């Protein structure tokens, strides 16, 4: 039976003991449409606030730098990562998904936001740090092979040091924002609609891939597979830490390399890759997923509430 406690914002409903992460929202009195309402609210806030925050920061950058020309031209250049403030605005805009998911799960479901971190309930910092180390090593192999196969050359974008600082500081927030939405709230919301966790795993991964916009089939499969493996990791480890770690390292490597090779805008606007690249990407993350799962087992992390 769920535990209900009074709080300052209404009711604090805790999930019953013994349920897996995707079904945490199946609390006492659960109504299926509440999850769909939460998804609608979360995605609406995503489209509204993420864009507003990004545009606001880019507008502030335009006012401070005064580069000349129109704001529209500056904005288009910035969202393509042609300016440092574009990277800053985009990453901090997506990072807003963290408080958005907290707000939705608290108001719509009356469940504390800490249940988005793990079944503990909260993020487990020890496992998060270990997962970051695993991802840094495993995905570095993918990075090196990418440099070799694409014949990348050291040709930094102007002001590369500033880009790198912004990437290192804000990419973790951006990656965590996406994980809190797609592997956190959406996995729980869809996963609670039916008793099988696979519904939440597949649907949240599909939404994640579709939200990346225009892309060819190999790139879509690449992103869909990433979502599936990350969601499976959440289910098998009981939290979103491993997914955050892999997402952080992948983005830091990809955009850091783009800043150092003059291909940052191309990396930002990536719309197609080959089947070989997709297969290697998925294979690399699969290796990470297996190691992260084995480490979680060795640490005896709880996988149910």
Which string of DSSP letters, residue by residue, matches 179-207?
HIIIIIIHHHHHHTTSS-HHHHHHHHHHH
User: For residue 138, with 0-12 CB atoms within 10 Å meaning exposed, 13-18 middle and 19 or more buried, which class applies?
Assistant: buried
pLDDT at 11: 55
In a domain, 219, yes or no: yes
* Mean of pLDDT values over 72-92: 95
* Percent share of the chain, pLDDT over 70: 96
Report how far residue 170's alpha carbon sits from residue 177's, in angstroms, rounded to the nearest whole number.
Answer: 11
For the segment 45-55, the average pLDDT, to the nearest whole number, is 93
pLDDT tens-digit map of 88-116:
999 999 999 999 999 999 999 999 999 99
**Is residue 32 in some structural domain?**
yes
Q: What are phi and psi of 11, to 5 degrees?
A: -130, 140
* Token pair in block for residue 40: 């609608």
The SS3 assignment for 72 reads helix
Question: How many domains does the chain divide into?
Answer: 1
Pairwise CA distance, residues 41 & 101, whole Å: 10
> 10 Å Cβ neighbour count for 63?
9
Angstrom distance (rounded) from CA 264 to CA 273: 16
Does residue 245 contact residue 235 with C-beta atoms inside 8 Å? Answer: no
Is residue 250 within 8 Å of 131, Cβ to Cβ?
A: no
Examine residue 305 and state whether it is found in any structural domain, yes or no. no
Give residue 8's pLDDT: 45
Beta bridge partners of 209: none
Q: Is 304 a domain residue?
A: no
Residue spans of alpha helices (H) in the chain: 32-45, 51-65, 71-79, 84-95, 97-107, 125-149, 160-179, 186-191, 197-210, 217-237, 241-261, 264-268, 275-298
Distance CA(150)–CA(130), nearest Å, equals 30
The 10s digit of each residue's pLDDT in 243-254 is 999 999 999 999
pLDDT at 66: 81
Q: Is the pLDDT of residue 179 over 90?
A: yes
Average pLDDT over residues 72-82: 94
Which residue range(s) make up the domain with 259?
3-298
Residues 290-305: tens digit of each pLDDT: 999 999 999 999 999 8
- Is residue 303 situated within a structural domain? no
Whether the CA torsion 152, 156, 157, 160 is positive or negative: it is positive
Residue 243, CA distances (Å) to 163, 179, 237 in order: 24, 7, 10
CB atoms within 10 A of CB 6: 8
Residue 110: inside a domain: yes
């Amino acid at each position: 039976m769920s535990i209900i406690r009074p709080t300052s914002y209404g009711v604090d409903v805790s999930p019953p003991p013994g349920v897996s992460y995707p079904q945490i929202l199946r609390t006492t009195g659960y109504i299926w449409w509440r999850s769909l309402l939460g998804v609608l609210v979360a995605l609406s806030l995503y489209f509204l606030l993420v864009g507003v925050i990004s545009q606001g920061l880019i507008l502030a950058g335009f006012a401070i730098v005064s580069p000349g020309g129109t704001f529209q031209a500056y904005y288009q250049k910035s969202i393509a990562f042609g300016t440092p403030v574009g990277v800053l605005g985009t990453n901090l805009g997506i990072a807003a998904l963290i408080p958005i998911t907290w707000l939705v799960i608290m108001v719509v479901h009356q469940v504390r936001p800490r249940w988005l971190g793990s079944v503990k309930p909260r993020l487990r910092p020890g496992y998060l740090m270990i997962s970051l180390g695993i991802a840094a090593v495993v995905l570095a192999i993918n990075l090196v092979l990418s440099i070799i196969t694409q014949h990348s050359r050291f040709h930094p974008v102007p002001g590369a040091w500033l880009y790198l600082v912004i990437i290192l500081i804000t990419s973790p927030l951006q990656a965590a924002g996406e994980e809190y939405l797609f592997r956190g709230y959406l996995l729980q919301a869809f996963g609670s609609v039916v008793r099988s966790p696979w519904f939440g795993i597949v649907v949240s991964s599909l939404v994640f891939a579709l939200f990346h916009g225009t892309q060819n089939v190999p790139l879509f499969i690449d992103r869909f597979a990433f979502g599936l493996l990350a969601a499976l990791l959440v289910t098998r480890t009981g939290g979103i830490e491993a997914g955050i770690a892999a997402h952080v390292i992948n983005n830091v490597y990809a955009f850091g390399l783009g800043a150092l090779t003059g291909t940052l805008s191309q990396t930002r606007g990536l719309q197609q890759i080959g089947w070989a690249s997709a297969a290697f990407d998925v294979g690399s993350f699969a290796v990470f997923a297996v190691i992260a799962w084995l480490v979680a087992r060795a640490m005896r992390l709880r996988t149910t509430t």
